[in-house]
Every structure is written in structure tokens, then in C-alpha cells.
């Protein structure tokens, strides 16, 4: 039972579930007060409305839990929205709520101006409507989350209903705008018209349900409405997230900069994906403009990661937008802990975005309090998906928000972190990684040629091969295809070998940076060892030409049994791999 609730709460497709199922889960949750008691934030919430809120209040505990809030909820009696607030002896005041949800409706509006009324009359009408609300707000000292007036279901004045004085929709819009200007700081408004539009006005309005039970919107609208209330409650309690930690490759631009260089990344007007990444960066930049702190967490060499910021003409985000820049090959959970520490925030204040399902799963597992958005699929959807989360809720732009991003401007260095090796081992094992060994074929030879030519980081030397060389029979060419439970990476490594006098010569060995930190190099080393054994070769040899990009190989080679032989200027190893090589948990398909 609790398993089912937990699965639902962490389901990224939570809002696709039918509302009847969510209602059932909410009922279940309420039967487990100990579960609710374990939520990181306990909160007393009062709900007051001029319409029926029974179904909303039934669903709220589940929606609040999803945002980490264990709520004790007071529901005011039907029709007593204003009176309960104005009367200090009421059940509402005795309940002593920490957050108050107020849900009025356009049916409460009393002073709709006549058609064609002059501007003064319209303003007078608005002031009359707001008078009662100013009184109401004064009677409450704690945060209020209030729904603005909802759009009416009918437009008897046609298009003029929303655009000209005399229309009810126009009156609703005018009040909502004025309310936003007039409301004191402790009132957070939720834009009801926008909420209804997102669902679709036809799906939002339910006139039959209103007649039957006095709930003006459809059951299907309940989860999204409840979620907006919960999100604003999070902001009102000061618990909204503050930091956006971003991956780079595949998230802010297309392609892996370590593999293809600054010129090779997709960012710019010439491709649809390139345009999507620019739009995504622009959206993130506007988040920063209103106080969200940005940090980078990328598995790349630092100079590769910074290069696009420094050199690519289409980058929207600049280095001085980034408050913390972590580019290294250490695990991302550890990096995120460091980022939190250096920025002086709790990890629960962080939203992490990454296109890799593996990195997303790892961070979710190691840091459950970090919100993780796994950006899969079409980059054209990235902005919408991030926006839909509304992870940095605020309805009031405060001076504080705007100043915050400036004060975090300093770009700091990351320190090396140490992850718990048991956690990494079990995580890698759970991914069920699998390798298929292939030889060069008509279909794959172009990919292999390109991989060898374009890879910069894991590459032994500068030697490249033509397709015909790879297809020829004289040497051994091994292509490594890699996949795991979450993703199929395709062909990610190539080893080109030749037997010379009882030694297996590795003419070159490349591996895509996409599969760094998967220990695939150790598995490949074992494969090479087996090939040498079958060919009766007693040793392995390779030429390692150090460059700016592949410097780290100098540390990796000894771990695979290679040592430098100065007289021949090569690296040599026994055929068999060292016994103490790291376990990759990879199986052979």
C-alpha cells in the first residue's frame, strides 16, 4: 500500500493518471498518518471558498505530499468564506493555520459595470470589489494563497465580453490585475485564467457538475488546481527551490563538446535542435534574471566545458551567469553536494536537469531531496517541460530575488569529491550494462571511421583509418556496442589491432566520452586480453601520444596493466588484464 503511494509520488507522469485513481490514492494516504507525518515540512492549511471544495480537500494531501508537505487541513463550511475570516471566534481562526487557501469565484463579484461604462465607473466598480478583500486580508497575518477570479463559462457579449467595459470577463480581468497591484506582500495569487487555459477552457468548465455539487470546474481540473495551490504554499513557506544545476552536453547544446569540439556542437539557427537549445538557454537566462541561481555540473574536462561559453557565438548563457562551474569526471551527486555547500543552500533547494537517464537516476537515488528533471526526447520540448514544473514559484518579484543573482556572481572552482564506492558499484550493477562485440561491416564502417577520427579525449594516438583499411582482413578491428537498462548508446568504442611477433599491437583505441564513468575501458581491456590469448600473443603494445585532451590516459593506462618502455617509446602490458582492475558489471551479449 505504501509502495503504491511512493511509486505514484515519484512518477514523472503523475498528472497523466486518471483523477479517479489519484482520488483513490489520496484516500489511501490519509489512512496512513505516519506517512504524512514523515514529510519534511508539516503545515496547517485552511481552505475557504465560495464553492464546494470537498473534492479538492480530499485530493490535497496527496498533492501536498508530492511537494514534500504533510498537511493538516481545515475546510471552512460551505458559503462561509468571508464570514469565517472576519469573525475572530470562527473555526478558521481557532485552527491557527500557517497557510490559508482562498478560492473565490467570479459569481462573488457584485459590481459589474454597465455596457459602455466610462473609465471612472469601471475604476469605481473595481475599487468596490476590492474593498472587501482589503478588509479580509487585514484579518490574516500568515501567508495567503488566493485564486484570482476565474473566467466565466459564457460570453454573452461575444469578443467584447473580455475586451470592453460591461463584459463580465473584462471585469474579471480588470479586478485580477488590480488585485495583483493592491494585494499585500503576504498574499500569493494564482492566475486562474491561465490555469483554466492550460487545461483548456472547454475541459475546465463543467456546468453540470456546478449544478449538481457547486464545484464550477471539472474533476479532471482538480489535480492541476491542487498542484498550483501546493506550489504556492511551498513558496509561501519559503521552501521553494533556489538553484538550477545544469548538465551541459545534450542539455544546453546538442552533442558532446569533448568529442566534437566547439564547432561541432549543435547550437544555433541552422538546425531545429540548435534553435531549441538557444530558446532553452534564453528561458534559463530569464529565470536567472529573477533571482534563480545557476550552476553547471558537467562530466567533461574543464576547458572543454568552458570552451562554448568562451568561443561559441550563439551561446546565450555566459560564464558570469553561472555562480558555480563544476566540470570534472567525478560523480554528479558528490558535485551537487559540493555546489550546495559552496552556494550555502540546502540540497533540497536544488533542481537538477540532465539529458542522461543514467545521471538522472543516479542523482535521484543518491540525493532524493534534489528535484531531478530528466530531459529526454525532443529539445523543442525542454523549455515547456521545465516551465511546467514551476520549480521556483513566486508570484511577487521582490527586490531580494532580483539582488540575489548578483550576489552569487562569483565563479568558483570545484573540489574533488569522494563518492561512496559501494553506492556506485551497486548503481552500476543495477543498470545491467551489456556489450556486443562486432567487427567492421558495410553498415557500421563509416561510424567507426568517424568515431576514430573525431574522438579527442579517450584516444591513444593520432592515427586514423580509412573505411577500406577497417574492412580489410589484415588486422583485428573490434567495435563495441553498449547499452544498459535505460539507454542504448550504439557503437561507442573501437580498437584496431594487429599481431606482430607474439605481441598484439593496439594501433589505436578510442572510446566516446558519452560512456565515461561506466568503466567500459576496463571491460574492453579484458576483451583485448582475450583476443591476445586466442592469438597466442604474450603481450600487448600501444603507442600513446599525449595531447591536451587525452592527458588523463596517462593515469588510466597503468590501471590496465600498461607500463612505459622508454627504449621503444611504447606502452606494454601482459596479455591478461590485472586482477585488481575495477569491476564494470558489464555482461557480454
Contacts with other proteins by CB under 8 A lie at 20, 23-24, 27-28, 54-55, 208-209, 211-213, 219
Residue 208 vs 474, nearer CB to other proteins: 208
Minimal distance, residue 208 CB to other proteins, in Å = 5
d(CA 73, CA 91): 12
- For cell 498533492, the residue is 63
Minimal distance, residue 31 CB to other proteins, in Å = 8
Query: What's the length of the chain?
Result: 589
Minimal distance, residue 7 CB to other proteins, in Å = 17
Minimal distance, residue 55 CB to other proteins, in Å = 7
d(CA 29, CA 360): 27
Characterise 199 by phi-psi region: left (phi > 0), alpha (psi -120 to 50), beta (else): alpha
- Spatial CA neighbour of 247 closest among 353, 130, 119: 353
Residue 57 vs 506, nearer CB to other proteins: 57
Minimal distance, residue 223 CB to other proteins, in Å = 15
Residue 220 vs 570, nearer CB to other proteins: 220
Minimal distance, residue 19 CB to other proteins, in Å = 9
Look at strands 293-298 and 243-246 and give their pairing. Answer: parallel
Minimal distance, residue 28 CB to other proteins, in Å = 6
Minimal distance, residue 215 CB to other proteins, in Å = 9
d(CA 312, CA 263): 8
197, three cell numbers:
487555459
Residue 26 vs 64, nearer CB to other proteins: 26
Q: Phi, psi (5° rounding) for residue 580?
A: -90, 20
Minimal distance, residue 23 CB to other proteins, in Å = 7
Minimal distance, residue 209 CB to other proteins, in Å = 7
Question: Which residues, 6 or more positions from 95, have their beta carbon under 8 angstroms from its beta carbon?
Answer: 44, 46, 74
d(CA 561, CA 526): 11
Residue 44 vs 214, nearer CB to other proteins: 214
d(CA 170, CA 151): 9
Minimal distance, residue 394 CB to other proteins, in Å = 34
Instruction: Note whether 153 and 196 are within 8 A (CB).
Output: no
Residue 209 vs 570, nearer CB to other proteins: 209
Residue 52 vs 517, nearer CB to other proteins: 52
d(CA 205, CA 105): 12
Torsion of CA 220, 223, 226, 228, to 10 degrees: -100
Residue 411: Cβ within 10 Å count: 15
| Helix/strand/coil for 488 | strand
Instruction: Note whether 395 and 232 are within 8 A (CB).
Output: yes
Residue 20 vs 545, nearer CB to other proteins: 20
Residue 11 vs 54, nearer CB to other proteins: 54
How far are the Cα atoms of 315, 438, 528 from residue 477, in angstroms, in the given order? Answer: 39, 8, 11
Minimal distance, residue 57 CB to other proteins, in Å = 11
How far are the Cα atoms of 329, 349, 520, 523, 558 from residue 585, in angstroms, in the given order? Answer: 19, 34, 9, 9, 21
Minimal distance, residue 478 CB to other proteins, in Å = 55
Minimal distance, residue 246 CB to other proteins, in Å = 41
Residue 24 vs 198, nearer CB to other proteins: 24
Residue 30 vs 574, nearer CB to other proteins: 30
d(CA 476, CA 341): 50
Which residues sit opposite 102 in a β-bridge? 48, 146
SS3 letters across 15-54? HHCCHHHHHHHHHHHHCCHHHHHCCCEEEEEEEEECCCCH
Minimal distance, residue 85 CB to other proteins, in Å = 24
Residue 23 vs 503, nearer CB to other proteins: 23
SS3 letters across 520-584? HHHHHHHHHHHHHHHCCCCEEEECCCCCCCCCCHHHHHHHCCCEEECCCCEEEEECCCCCCCCCC
Residue 117 vs 219, nearer CB to other proteins: 219
Question: Which residues, 6 or more positions from 257, have their beta carbon under 8 angstroms from its beta carbon?
Answer: 248, 249, 264, 265, 300, 304, 305, 307, 308
Residue 24 vs 365, nearer CB to other proteins: 24
DSSP 259: H
Residue 204 vs 465, nearer CB to other proteins: 204
Q: Determine which helix (DSSP H) or strand (DSSP E) holds 139, and give its type and residue range.
A: none
Amino acid at each position: 500500500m505504501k509502495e503504491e503511494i511512493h511509486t505514484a509520488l515519484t512518477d514523472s507522469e503523475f498528472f497523466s493518471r486518471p483523477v479517479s485513481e489519484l482520488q483513490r490514492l489520496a484516500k489511501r494516504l490519509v489512512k496512513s498518518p505516519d506517512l504524512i507525518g514523515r514529510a519534511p515540512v508539516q503545515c496547517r492549511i485552511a481552505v475557504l471558498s465560495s464553492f464546494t471544495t470537498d473534492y479538492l480537500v480530499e485530493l490535497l494531501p496527496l498533492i501536498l505530499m508530492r511537494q514534500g508537505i504533510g498537511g493538516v487541513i481545515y475546510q471552512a463550511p460551505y458559503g462561509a468564506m468571508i464570514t469565517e475570516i472576519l469573525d475572530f471566534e470562527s473555526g478558521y481562526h481557532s485552527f491557527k493555520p500557517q497557510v490559508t487557501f482562498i478560492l473565490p469565484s467570479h459569481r462573488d463579484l457584485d459590481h459589474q459595470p454597465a455596457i459602455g461604462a466610462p473609465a471612472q465607473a469601471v475604476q469605481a466598480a473595481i475599487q468596490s470589489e476590492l474593498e472587501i478583500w482589503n478588509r479580509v486580508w487585514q484579518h490574516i497575518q500568515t501567508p495567503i494563497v488566493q485564486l484570482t477570479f476565474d473566467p466565466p463559462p459564457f460570453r454573452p457579449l461575444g469578443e467584447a465580453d473580455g475586451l470592453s467595459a460591461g463584459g463580465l470577463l473584462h471585469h474579471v480581468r480588470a479586478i485580477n490585475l488590480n488585485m495583483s497591484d493592491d494585494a499585500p506582500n503576504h498574499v500569493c495569487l494564482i492566475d486562474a485564467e491561465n490555469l483554466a487555459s492550460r487545461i483548456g477552457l472547454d475541459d475546465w468548465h463543467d456546468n453540470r457538475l456546478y449544478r449538481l455539487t457547486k464545484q464550477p470546474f471539472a474533476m479532471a481540473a482538480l489535480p492541476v488546481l491542487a498542484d498550483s495551490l501546493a506550489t504556492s504554499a511551498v513558496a509561501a513557506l519559503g521552501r521553494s527551490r533556489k538553484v538550477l544545476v545544469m548538465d551541459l552536453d545534450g542539455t544546453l547544446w546538442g552533442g558532446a563538446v569533448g568529442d566534437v569540439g566547439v564547432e561541432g556542437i549543435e547550437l544555433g539557427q541552422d538546425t531545429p535542435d540548435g534553435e531549441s537549445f538557444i530558446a532553452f538557454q534564453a528561458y534559463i537566462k530569464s529565470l536567472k534574471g529573477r533571482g534563480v541561481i545557476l550552476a553547471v555540473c558537467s562530466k567533461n574536462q574543464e576547458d572543454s566545458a568552458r570552451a562554448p561559453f568562451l568561443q561559441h557565438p550563439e551561446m546565450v548563457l555566459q560564464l558570469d551567469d553561472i555562480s558555480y562551474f563544476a566540470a570534472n569526471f567525478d560523480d554528479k551527486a558528490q558535485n551537487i553536494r559540493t555546489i550546495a555547500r559552496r552556494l550555502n543552500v540546502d540540497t533540497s533547494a536544488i533542481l537538477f536537469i540532465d539529458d542522461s537517464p543514467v545521471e538522472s537516476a543516479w542523482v535521484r537515488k543518491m540525493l532524493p531531496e534534489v528535484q531531478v528533471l530528466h530531459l529526454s526526447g525532443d529539445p523543442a520540448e525542454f523549455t515547456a517541460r521545465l516551465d511546467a514544473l514551476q520549480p521556483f514559484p513566486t508570484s511577487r518579484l521582490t527586490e531580494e530575488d532580483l539582488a540575489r543573482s548578483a550576489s552569487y556572481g562569483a565563479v568558483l572552482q570545484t573540489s574533488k569529491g569522494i563518492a561512496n564506492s559501494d553506492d556506485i558499484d551497486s548503481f552500476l550493477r543495477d543498470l545491467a550494462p551489456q556489450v556486443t562485440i562486432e567487427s567492421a561491416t558495410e553498415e557500421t564502417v563509416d561510424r567507426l571511421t568517424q568515431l576514430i577520427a573525431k574522438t579527442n579525449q579517450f584516444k591513444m594516438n593520432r592515427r586514423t583509418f580509412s573505411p577500406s583499411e577497417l574492412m580489410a582482413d589484415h588486422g583485428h578491428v573490434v567495435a563495441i556496442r553498449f547499452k544498459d537498462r535505460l539507454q542504448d548508446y550504439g557503437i561507442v568504442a573501437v580498437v584496431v589491432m594487429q599481431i606482430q611477433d607474439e605481441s598484439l599491437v593496439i594501433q589505436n583505441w578510442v572510446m566516446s566520452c558519452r560512456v565515461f564513468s561506466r568503466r567500459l575501458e576496463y571491460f574492453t581491456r579484458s576483451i583485448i586480453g582475450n583476443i591476445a590469448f586466442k592469438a597466442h600473443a604474450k603481450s600487448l603494445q600501444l603507442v600513446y601520444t599525449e595531447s591536451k585532451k587525452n592527458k588523463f590516459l596517462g593515469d588510466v593506462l597503468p590501471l590496465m596493466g600498461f607500463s612505459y618502455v622508454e627504449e621503444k617509446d611504447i606502452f606494454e602490458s601482459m596479455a591478461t588484464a590485472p586482477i585488481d582492475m575495477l569491476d564494470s558489471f558489464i555482461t557480454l551479449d
